[in-house]
Structure 1
């Protein structure tokens, strides 16, 4: 056992050496806590049933850390996805609160006598994420949330199939609804925070806020890493330097960045490589905004929308570049000269 402890501590020290080489303080703190917790579980006799799983994860993390510090893009993306909740335990910590909504009743039971027969509940945030092609590859329609397309026509008691073959099994309907819900939720990219956009009644630019106090004032809840400044740090690291130099003075983001210094990379890897990794990370982190409008009667109406950071790498690049007037003129000149030569 003494030899096993020495091997585990040696593995832990190897992880710490790689963690110290990560480019940001957030990444270093995250993986120190992650690896440290796993090593404590491995060395605790009370968690003997978890030792093999945790040891395998630490070894995998060490390999990914070594690859990331060596400049391999896939390994670095794995590190970023783990630290920012695109995969792993943090992803499920962000997801679980969105499976319910305070103050909203659960849907009625499909089988009246069975409590567990309630269909899955879609919160307002979850509906916005599932029906947007930014957070999922194939967005769902609002009708698909109420009636999953996987249900057969017989599930409708008024359908010809139900009248001819009899009613569809309620237990099967419950299982199919939950299976559809679980499959779609696993494919959703979840935000790190909610952005509140308040549009004034008189028009003009919207005021953008992300603090929990402002969200609570309008009756919406925080999501993920709200108030931590993590998403703002990702955007600052992904922003090209030229956009910082030429940004307008009226830009709210530039005013916020002028109050405190922009975060920088502390790494032996090239800044261009790291910035590209963070730009691609932003394409996997949707921006969940709550737009609040004031009607002429004075009532406030809000709606969730899913957007993408302007500094993110676009998922679908244009296949054809639109020709400008200058390009068209050159093409016409080339065609005329080619016609003269053929004569």
Structure 2
């Protein structure tokens, strides 16, 4: 066994020691143990001799920081394990880049097959046009059809096109794909899709099993029906709070059936709960409302993006309204400031 192999196995053993200290079974056994093992096998494969152990070293540093109680390192671990970054995010995203059974958009350059513009699936349209899932300002439906980065000259009927000639089709293809890639990178992806069905008592049930999805004719996403998202919600709950009630939002049948998971860690429970509450803010809930008949007619099924009621809010709470005394002090301070400026 040469020195390089010994060093790799030493890194592997150090990673395993840190992984055993993580607070949940999913992080320990179902994700990081498999991830680090796969990375080591790839590096030891003679076909991949050019690969370095930098990735394993980075994971080791983050694992050590997370177990030491550093919030940024722990958030990095959670983002990696729950598809906010890395290969799992790509596995969740890749199926959403196309719409099964839908007709491909027409070619921009008739003779070039690769000149088709990006295809926005129904799920991706809902995510891109929502303030909850989009990390910056949400897009409008019109922006998906005509990206704002396209110059006015791209419209053949515009004055610019008539004065300067038609816009390059190749540049239009590149700009459309660039816009698509940039906006997708700014989008948080769900771990699963939830079927929300209204009940007779006014509440709504949430179902994630494959039979419910097949019944309404939609596809699964990411870690569908694995219980991972339900576990995150349960871990984010304060200890004094029981199962979800009607005021917390739609009832989650999966969460009600299972006992509440607990942390197995040396770190403070409050610190861990806060990390999972912030993680929930980075995981949108993609809900599908099936078609239904209303007094106004038949409503088509549609996707909606929501946020878990147990997530940390993205915006600061609204402060109390200033009273008369507060306003008097504010006016006095403003007048004093104007007097000094003169």
Give me the TM-score of the superposition, normalised by structure 2: 0.89
Q: Does 1:13 align with 2:13?
A: yes
**CA distance in 2 between partners of 1:95 and 1:263 (Å):** 28
Residue matched to 1:141? 140
Residue matched to 2:41? 40
Number of residues of Structure 1 aligned to a counterpart in Structure 2: 324
Structure 2: runs of 5 or more not aligned: 329-342
Residue matched to 2:190? 191
Task: Report the CA distance shift for 1:245/1:82 in structure 2 as closer, same or farther (over 3 A).
Answer: closer
**CA distance in 2 between partners of 1:182 and 1:290 (Å):** 25
Residue matched to 1:170? 169
Residue matched to 2:270? 272
Aligned match for 1:80, one of 66, 78, 100: 78
Task: Report the CA distance shift for 1:180/1:72 in structure 2 as closer, same or farther (over 3 A).
Answer: same
* 1:276-332 Cα distance to aligned partner (Å, 9 max, x none): 000000000000011124124885621111100000000111252358xxxx7xx78
What CA RMSD, in Å, does the superposition of the two structures yield over aligned residues? Answer: 2.4
Residue matched to 1:339? none
Residue matched to 2:339? none
**CA distance in 2 between partners of 1:251 and 1:158 (Å):** 49
Q: Which runs of structure 2 are paired with 1:241-256 in the superposition (5 Å)? A: 241-244=239-242, 247=245, 253=251
Give me the TM-score of the superposition, normalised by structure 1: 0.88
Aligned match for 1:282, one of 271, 280, 283: 280
Task: Report the CA distance shift for 1:219/1:301 in structure 2 as closer, same or farther (over 3 A).
Answer: same
Quote the offset at 1:254 in angstroms: 7.9
Q: Which runs of structure 2 are paired with 1:1-343 in the superposition (5 Å)? A: 2-29=2-29, 30-49=31-50, 51-52=51-52, 55-136=53-134, 137-199=136-198, 204-244=202-242, 247=245, 253=251, 257=255, 259-296=257-294, 299=298, 301-321=300-320
Quote the offset at 1:260 in angstroms: 2.6
Task: Report the CA distance shift for 1:151/1:251 in structure 2 as closer, same or farther (over 3 A).
Answer: closer
Structure 1: runs of 5 or more not aligned: 336-343
Task: Report the CA distance shift for 1:219/1:255 in structure 2 as closer, same or farther (over 3 A).
Answer: closer
**CA distance in 1 between partners of 2:141 and 2:252 (Å):** 37
Consecutive aligned runs of 4 or more in structure 1 exceeding 6 Å deviation: 248-252
Contact 1:292 1:303 in 2 (8 A): yes
Residue matched to 1:341? none
**CA distance in 2 between partners of 1:232 and 1:122 (Å):** 28
Quote the offset at 1:205 in angstroms: 2.3
